[in-house]
Structure 1
């Protein structure tokens, strides 16, 4: 193996997991430029064109797809090696991934989920991408659907509701345009709902879910938000009923073997208890 190719393969696998170059670079803690150079270097080292480059970003070529298939078994071993190396210098880590809204919700229970005397560090990984729990990139994931992968274990946490919200200081919320996540940026079910029903009345597109909340607070437009987010904002008001077609279950997902690890089980149980005590908040009741 050529010197340095480890980091290039790591970048290649990260792109396949996180979907976009920007997100993969962020997860690896490197700049987009450095990340891009790693991918170019890998193509040069292997003398193969691994990607198609277009306006919407990178997509795997046939050669890239073949390389990914060959590297998948290696990905698990690399993740376990990195985890082992990390644990040799600091406390064990339990990585928990969730989307923007769920991360904000869990932040309210941080002292419940993470305690000062814990023999491990709890690491929050907020992302809209579905991280590879099967490859142990994270230990626990909160998802909006039950996983289909056979090597994952899941527990249903409860239902969440969605409703439209606007700033309280607007005079005519009904005539306001809508805020929507741009389709090029990990579109959510709520954004797809807005596109399907209000495509002619979009006030602004944003590139991250959190921006919809910020824009709504500034009176730019209406936003479809989880009830546990919108109802918690004193400066927002509901502009309609709960959108029943968006109601969804949230699932706590773990690796089939990793769920038996003591620290992972402790965090998973705390998350489940936190949700159980807040079912009404989740549904906006």
Structure 2
């Protein structure tokens, strides 16, 4: 009888999915050498070679493919059974890690997070906000939240917000002094508050109307790396900023800012929570998604 453990079989499935010992080890929280040793032990126990290893890649042997095909439904059924017990008991435990942009994490804090923590007091949420787009699997996150256009097509995505748009905004004081641009080209004569992306590149402003598209690297003497700081600079009359509309909504309502070129600013897909479709969904993430769907801007899952 085989001595293979459930942990070894799960580790094998992750190696098979990632095709990389480095990525699988990072996801499991173990060293690459320990994972490699465990897989050799599994192969020895089963008396079958499961993985072809090279210095750059990992692939499945025929025996490995057969084992993977049999394991998937078995472990999936086991995970679902354990999740059902945990959720019926209303005693979800553990940590749910989610990565997203600053605006995405703010959206979660204003909507689903308070309700989730109240309903599942033994769950811990670890929310990490950062500008750079990360590999959520390689960096150990359960899910990410980003604009729909940035989510990879092989992910399962759940809507977090309504569609949104980026707006060019300026203070009334700035517009009185420098004038109001009527078309995007006229931004070339204005002071624009530019944005530095995490990659180091400057963000280009994009405008569309009636099939016409216009992209500009705006002129200006001030560059910032935060939508919040860009908004504050615009409020101080330092120039025209190009920010997601939710950031500017309050200032627009209070008339502290004015939107310019709004008919050139089309809507784009809003925020989506996303996660790999080929992995088991933890009970905590399932519960988070169920609560997320209770909000009016949320929709059902969509493969991207």
TM-score by length of 1: 0.57
In the TM superposition, 1:143-162 aligns within 5 A as 143-144=146-147, 145=149, 147-148=151-152, 150=154, 152-157=155-160, 158-162=162-166
Kept after mapping to 1: 8 A contact 2:27/2:137 = no
Whether 1:261 aligns to 2:282 is yes
> What's the counterpart of residue 124 of structure 2?
121
Give the C-alpha shift of residue 246 in structure 1: 6.0
Kept after mapping to 2: 8 A contact 1:162/1:225 = yes
> What's the counterpart of residue 205 of structure 2?
193
Whether 1:94 aligns to 2:96 is yes
Counterpart-to-counterpart distance in 2, 1:135 and 1:261: 17
Distance 1:262 1:239, change over 3 A: same
Give the C-alpha shift of residue 212 in structure 1: 1.3
Provide the aligned length of Structure 1 versus Structure 2. Answer: 198
> What's the counterpart of residue 196 of structure 2?
182
> What's the counterpart of residue 106 of structure 2?
104
> What's the counterpart of residue 21 of structure 2?
73
Gaps of 5+ in 2: 1-17, 31-92, 182-189, 208-213, 300-304
**Root mean square deviation, CA, Å:** 3.4
> What's the counterpart of residue 270 of structure 1?
291
Counterpart-to-counterpart distance in 1, 2:97 and 2:257: 32
Give the C-alpha shift of residue 230 in structure 1: 0.8
Give the C-alpha shift of residue 232 in structure 1: 2.3
Counterpart-to-counterpart distance in 2, 1:107 and 1:262: 20
Question: How big is each residue's C-alpha offset from its partner over 1:234-283, in whole Å with a ceiling of 9 and x where there is no partner?
Answer: 433322315445623432211325563210112223334446179xxxxx
Kept after mapping to 2: 8 A contact 1:80/1:136 = no
Structure with greater helix share of residues: 1
Q: Which of 97, 117, 140 is residue 143 of structure 2 equivalent to?
A: 140
Distance 1:271 1:192, change over 3 A: farther
Distance 1:117 1:140, change over 3 A: same
Kept after mapping to 1: 8 A contact 2:159/2:297 = no
Kept after mapping to 2: 8 A contact 1:95/1:124 = yes
TM-score by length of 2: 0.54
Gaps of 5+ in 1: 1-69, 83-90, 279-285
Counterpart-to-counterpart distance in 1, 2:197 and 2:139: 28
